[in-house]
């Protein structure tokens, strides 16, 4: 091994002076031996990081993410360290911060994450040494930046000099990773886990912080709240150059812990991937290498199952299994909550079974003297994710990628849509799904819960019989989950798509059918966004979309994404205008009479898009949100993309919804340009935002809250990292953008630049090869590193 060589000081793009030390040879296991990485900052602050080991690569990622988003990472750690109440306050013992702290405090006291890091589990060596090195390097890079800058000199006011900003440990990052894995499982039911308490002698316990409607919805919804996505995988039959193409269009929050971060990571000869990851993650999760590109969409599959427990009479904390009583285990945890005279302790006792934690959802899953409900979260022991994404980045074809998915089964709650340079496209829901087969469902879901399973995929199993345990598929990565043979996958030469409906219609020419209901539904109506996504592909391939030629190029794919069609408007606008023209007065839900003439005029002039200059688009959105989009015809399984399509003008609820929409927009011109009422703040600027709600059938999804009399002044979530990548013999090319920009720091040069770019439907180019990177006129190169620690 060559001796480490001292590098000269380099001035970074931010004016920081950094002294580096050369890296270890590839493959060396690195601890306290020094770190070094080369950073090439391209336009919009996107870092291209090159290092000679995974530890050094992690160091570079940790350093640049701290430069741009230190406050986001620090707050994520506060959450999983169960200190939100301490640092961000609480209104009382039932505050959301307190509930979060109690949940994560239990995980800390149980040493949940430490037990996942023990090494080989169920035949898979995960996390691998490469991933452990990358996490170790990430922590060292973050800490290096924090140490050099100092908490009191951070430029981001969100966390400058805050007591919750501290150096990280590796365990901190593993805890944030675990929290992400369980987002659609036990974390979605956090309130119900915290609230669960045995009944009193006179009836069910009155849990003071029992979950409300949001938790009930979470219990019935397989997807994490607030996230979604569109994606296309295009094969040789769908592209102009006969190579593969991928559209990535995840819909994620524009603020907080789930923002994406663009980056390009390279360990020469071992890993070379450009794309994006959630802030605080050290590996690219959506992106491309030289010959393969992929994206993720949120899957409909359920991540946990319920077990109905038959309790021992007189002892509601014991339950029967095969006729024998078993005692629940308990753990009492305590967190410190700010009070009027300092901090006060708040304690809660949690109850666990061999299935998992007891959960209460009042009115649906109550804890009574005779019955309780526990869940098994299939992702609670998922420690395979970073290894899976690392191997995805090394795959060269979609068939290689499919083998990675089969081997690791690591995706917590997302599908994969991919394509390769050979011209093959792949769709797969190879996510972590509890092993509820049709046979198990028929034998073990009690009759009262069979309709719930049929309608939603929620499985409530008989917890009193060991025969109703999840069991093990022979090809599964771990016990308790469906193996690859029981999961939907399609490899095609034309195309696959997904927009958060189930796997069924990934390609209408060959519907995927015959899979367990827990994964998703089949032969049922698709959302308007799914239908628009399919219609756009079909029109492009037929050459009927108004663009020249047939087949996709990166340019035409970009125009497809940001064409901003409103499919619901295309279907019903004319009928709606005819209805309100004939009956110009409507009655709102509150009984008020509403003049609809101005609304009719605005809708008649609307261009059926959600562009910045579209007038009346927000009126149609409010009509849809008021539940006005009701169809007169029925869904036809033989024509799933185009049915239903006729407005039910005979239904009085349609006119009521339009009247409600007019009332909601009081003080806001009904024919206003969308860009004047839908904006995103960046400093003292208000950037106009195009796009709109999925419920209206909009592909470029933007979700925001209406402020009465003002409009929609802040995006909540929607299009985030958008990538249209074209693969071919000369490497990848195409377009990409991070809609909300690279940094959360208002003093960063990269705080709003891509947001303004998005507003104008602009883009940044794919920069993967050295030639592409060097051609960037704003390129700045520097090294980051640290010497040996003693």
Checking phi first, is residue 34 left (phi over 0); if not, alpha (psi -120 to 50) or beta?
A: left
* Catalytic site residue from 100, 229, 614, 720: 229
The token pair at 258 is: 């789930």
Helix (H, G, I), strand (E, B) or coil at 651: coil
User: Distance (Å, rounded) from C-alpha 535 to C-alpha 540?
Assistant: 8
Tell how strand 286-288 and strand 271-278 pair up: antiparallel
Positive or negative, the Cα torsion across 512, 518, 521, 527? negative
Burial class (CB in 10 A: 0-12, 13-18, 19+), 117: middle
Among 444, 432, 440, 538, residue whose Cα is nearest residue 482 = 432
Contact 97, 76 (CB under 8 A): no
According to DSSP, residue 506 is labeled: S
User: Distance (Å, rounded) from C-alpha 187 to C-alpha 107?
Assistant: 11
Q: Half-sphere exposure of 709 toward its Cβ, with a 13 Å CA cutoff?
A: 0
User: Distance (Å, rounded) from C-alpha 320 to C-alpha 465?
Assistant: 8
Cβ neighbours, 10 Å, residue 303: 31
Among 74, 54, 53, 45, residue whose Cα is nearest residue 145 = 74
Contact 720, 235 (CB under 8 A): no
For the chain, the distance separating the N- and C-terminal CA atoms, rounded to the nearest angstrom, is: 20
Torsion of CA 224, 501, 504, 412, to 10 degrees: -20
Q: Please name the residue that has the structure tokens 């020469």.
A: 268
Told to judge if 100 belongs to the known catalytic residues of this protein, a careful annotator would answer no
User: Distance (Å, rounded) from C-alpha 392 to C-alpha 275?
Assistant: 12
Measured in degrees and rounded to the nearest 5, phi and psi for residue 256 equal: 95, -160
CA-based radius of gyration for the chain: 27
Q: Please name the residue that has the structure tokens 């993967």.
A: 768
Tell how strand 304-312 and strand 679-682 pair up: unpaired
Query: Which are the catalytic amino acids?
Result: 229
């Amino acid at each position: 091994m060559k001796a480490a060589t001292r590098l000269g000081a380099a001035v970074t793009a931010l004016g920081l002076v950094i002294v580096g030390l050369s890296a270890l040879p590839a493959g060396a296991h690195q601890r306290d031996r020094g770190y070094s990485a080369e950073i090439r900052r391209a336009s919009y602050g996107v870092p291209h990081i090159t290092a000679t080991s995974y530890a050094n690569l992690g160091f570079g990622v940790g350093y640049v993410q701290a430069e741009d988003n230190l406050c986001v990472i620090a707050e994520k750690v506060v959450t999983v360290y169960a200190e939100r109440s301490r640092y961000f306050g609480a209104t009382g013992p039932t505050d959301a911060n307190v509930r979060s702290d109690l949940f994560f405090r239990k995980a800390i006291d149980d040493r949940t994450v430490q037990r996942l890091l023990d090494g080989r589990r169920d035949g898979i060596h995960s996390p691998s040494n490469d991933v452990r090195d990358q996490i170790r390097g990430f922590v060292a890079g973050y800490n290096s930046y924090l140490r050099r800058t100092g908490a009191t000199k951070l430029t981001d006011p969100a966390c400058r000099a805050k007591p919750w900003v501290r150096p990280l440990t590796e365990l901190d990052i593993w805890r944030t990773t675990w929290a992400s894995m369980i987002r659609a499982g036990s974390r979605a039911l956090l309130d119900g886990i915290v609230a669960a308490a045995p009944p009193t002698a006179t009836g069910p316990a009155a849990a003071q912080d029992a979950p409300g409607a949001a938790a009930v919805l979470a219990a019935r919804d397989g997807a994490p709240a607030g996230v979604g996505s569109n994606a296309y995988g295009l094969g040789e039959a769908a592209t102009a150059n006969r190579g593969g193409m991928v559209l990535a269009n995840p819909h994620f929050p524009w603020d907080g812990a789930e923002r994406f971060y663009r980056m390009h990571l390279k360990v020469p000869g071992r890993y070379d991937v450009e794309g994006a990851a959630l802030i605080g993650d050290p590996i690219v999760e959506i992106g491309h290498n030289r010959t393969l590109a992929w994206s993720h969409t949120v899957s409909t599959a359920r991540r946990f199952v319920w077990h109905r427990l038959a309790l021992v009479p007189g002892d509601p904390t014991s339950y029967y299994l095969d006729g024998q009583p078993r005692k629940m285990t308990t753990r009492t945890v305590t967190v410190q909550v700010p009070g009027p005279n300092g901090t006060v302790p708040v304690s809660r006792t949690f109850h666990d079974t061999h299935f998992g934690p007891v959960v209460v959802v009042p009115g649906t899953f109550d804890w009574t003297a005779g019955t309780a409900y526990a869940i098994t979260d299939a992702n609670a022991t998922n420690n395979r994710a970073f290894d899976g994404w690392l191997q995805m980045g090394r795959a060269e074809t979609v068939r290689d990628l499919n083998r990675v998915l089969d081997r690791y089964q690591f995706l917590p709650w997302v599908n994969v849509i991919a394509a390769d340079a050979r011209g093959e496209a792949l769709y797969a829901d190879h996510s972590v799904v509890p092993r509820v087969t049709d046979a198990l469902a028929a034998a073990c879901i009690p009759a009262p819960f069979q309709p719930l399973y049929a309608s939603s995929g929620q499985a409530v199993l008989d917890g009193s019989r060991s025969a109703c345990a999840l069991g093990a598929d022979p090809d599964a990565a771990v016990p308790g989950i469906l193996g690859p043979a029981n999961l939907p996958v399609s490899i095609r030469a034309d195309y696959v798509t997904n927009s958060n409906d189930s796997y069924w219609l990934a390609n209408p020419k060959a519907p995927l059918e015959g899979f367990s209901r827990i994964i998703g539904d089949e032969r049922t109506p698709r959302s308007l966004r799914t239908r628009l996504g399919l219609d756009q592909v079909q029109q492009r391939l037929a050459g009927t979309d108004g663009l020249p030629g047939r087949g996709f190029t990166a340019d035409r794919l970009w125009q497809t994404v940001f064409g901003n069609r409103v499919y619901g408007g295309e279907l019903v606008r004319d009928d709606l205008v005819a209805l309100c023209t004939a009956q110009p007065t409507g009655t709102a839900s509150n009984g008020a009479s509403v003049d609809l003439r101005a609304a009719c005029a605005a809708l008649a002039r609307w261009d059926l898009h959600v562009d910045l200059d579209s007038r009346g688009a927000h009126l149609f959105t409010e009509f849809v949100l008021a539940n006005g989009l009701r169809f007169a015809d029925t869904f036809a399984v033989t024509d799933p993309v185009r049915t239903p399509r006729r407005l039910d003008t005979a239904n009085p609820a349609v006119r009521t919804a339009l009247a409600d929409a007019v009332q909601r927009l009081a003080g806001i011109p009904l024919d206003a340009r969308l860009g004047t009422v839908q904006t995103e703040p960046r400093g003292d600027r208000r950037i106009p935002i195009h796009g709109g709600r999925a419920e209206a059938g909009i592909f470029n999804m933007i979700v925001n809250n209406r402020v009465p009399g003002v409009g929609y002044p802040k995006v909540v979530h929607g299009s985030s990292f958008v990538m249209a990548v074209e693969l071919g013999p000369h490497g990848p090319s195409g377009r990409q953008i991070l809609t909300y920009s690279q940094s959360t720091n208002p003093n960063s040069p990269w705080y709003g630049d891509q947001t303004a770019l998005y507003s104008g439907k602009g883009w940044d180019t794919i920069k993967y090869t050295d030639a592409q990177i060097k051609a960037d006129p704003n390129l700045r190169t520097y090294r980051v590193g640290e010497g040996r620690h003693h």
